[in-house]
Chains A and B, each alone.
Chain A
């Protein structure tokens, strides 16, 4: 599980990224990796609902500096393995090992998180990704400010942005 680390809430100018920006960034990453035709479908999910895939992979990067936040991606197990197979050129999904998925999902969140960092006040530093087999877990000192729920080939994908408590209202 990803346990998110601690912020110094006093140090940063707190701001939330625009929802449409986060959605577009996610789509850009998806289409660049998988092709123009592999669009992500929007998905209506009630606020506060946990990520609802039966099996899941998750990964997070932390941004510190001019903006502070955590960007998390959660993917349905089959989606994660299919994307991994494409990225690593593995012929069938059955041959995707956990280590492969961890690497690919980590690179996904690196790209999404890095793109979001570029939209926010800087200068900031992007952490290396941390990856987990399973849903993401969020520390109690952060609050969700942005969430994009989409589906690829029917499997759910979620991107979340959290900022330190006491952030924007």
Chain B
């Protein structure tokens, strides 16, 4: 699995990178939406983008609408990871094509559970609830 982390904060990219590399993701990083679009056009297409909302040059909401406007990218899962926590913004992002939404601040578990929800984690563990 490949994840692209799109956030203007190096510290936030570092935190997210640690979480997803721990889940065996390969990562790419972009510092704003335009940078991410450029990388999508030139490089390998990731399975998921983790997208901040407020960034210089191109914000995460615009990035999502741009990705969704290109049918070649329809398999990319988009997850907002942002401090924008108003209900209307969550609705807007989902309507624009985001699959999931994590509100900052978050704990690492929150990211893991969302990736699980999105079917992006492998399950090789024992089946649930066996009485031996």
Chain A positions near chain B (C-beta within 8 angstroms): 28-29, 32-33, 84, 87-89, 100, 103-104, 106-107, 110-111, 113-115, 117-118, 122-123, 126-128
Contact = CB atoms under 8 A, between A and B. Distances in A.
Nearest to A99: B10
B11 interface: yes
Given A28-B105, A29-B105, A32-B106, A113 B83 contact: yes
A118 B9 contact: no
A37 B72 CA distance: 45
A145 to B, nearest CB: 21
Interface residues of B, number: 21
Interface string B44-80: 0000000000111000000000000000000000000
Contacts of B83: 110-111, 113-115, 117, 126
Nearest to A104: B11
A88 B14 contact: yes
Nearest to A35: B107
Q: For the complex, would chain B's binding face be called helix, strand, loop or mixed by DSSP majority?
A: loop
Given A84-B11, A103-B10, A107-B9, A126 B84 contact: yes
A contacts with B: majority SS: helix
Interface of B: 8-12, 14-15, 18, 54-56, 82-86, 88, 104-107
Contacts of A122: 86, 88
A123 B84 CA distance: 11
Contacts of B11: 84, 87-88, 100, 103-104, 107
Given A87-B11, A128-B56, A114 B104 contact: yes
A33 B105 contact: yes
Contacts of A28: 105
17 contacts: A32-B105, A33-B15, A33-B105, A103-B9, A104-B11, A107-B9, A107-B11, A111-B83, A113-B83, A114-B85, A115-B105, A117-B86, A123-B88, A126-B83, A126-B84, A128-B54, A128-B55
A118 B86 contact: yes
A73 to B, nearest CB: 13
